[in-house]
Amino acid sequence: MIDASGCPLCAQEGGVPVLRTPLYRVIRAEEADFPAFYRVVWNEHVAEWTDLVPAHRSLLMQTVAKVETVLREALRPTKINLASLGNVVPHLHWHVIARFDWDSHFPQPVWGAPQRVVVPPAVSRLAVPLEVLDARIAAALAEAVSA
């Protein structure tokens, strides 16, 4: 376990910034094999989802749902993978990953064994560019934040 003082998600954004609110932020992980890989990060350093009060748990999951919805509509992935693990970085964050039957690890989790080599790069196979995807996620979330 590491405490907040040595925590990479306290010290840094953790990826490409998509949206930041006072309570949470959404970033895009930069994983070449899984380009449509986002993280919803709780800004405060807490380890577990149930460390949050129920209203904040719900807010976090509604954010996860909005990211999932944009990914499904924009990319038509084979599957969405959601996870909150934090074994290495115990600062609460949810992984939201669009998976495709052609990706390097499918049907294994992204943390599992590779299944194939993907050529050309995965990002070139997505239906929309990552910048467009980021903007759509930010817009979907900004609507909720301003409501």
Asked whether position 47 contacts a copy of itself by CB under 8 A, the answer is yes
Q: Can residue 125 be called a binding residue for a copy of itself (CB under 8 A)?
A: no
> Would you tell me the crossing angle of helices 54-75 and 130-146 to the nearest 10 degrees?
140
Cβ atoms of residues 98 and 28 within 8 Å: no
- Which residue among 31, 49, 135, 138 contacts a copy of itself (CB under 8 A)? 49
Other beta carbons within 10 angstroms of residue 144's beta carbon come to 13
Quick check: 58 binds a copy of itself (CB under 8 A)? yes
Spatial distance between the Cα atoms of 78 and 70, rounded to a whole number of angstroms: 14
**Stretch 86-105 residues interacting with a copy of itself (CB under 8 A):** 86-88, 90, 99
Two tokens, residue 51:
């460390």
Q: Minimum CB separation from a copy of itself for residue 108, in Å? A: 7
Beta pairing partners, 96: 38, 82
Please identify, using beta-carbon distances, which residue of 1 and 147 lies nearer to a copy of itself: 1
Residues that bind a copy of itself (CB under 8 A): 1, 47-50, 54, 57-58, 61-62, 65, 68-69, 72, 78-88, 90, 99, 106-109, 111-112
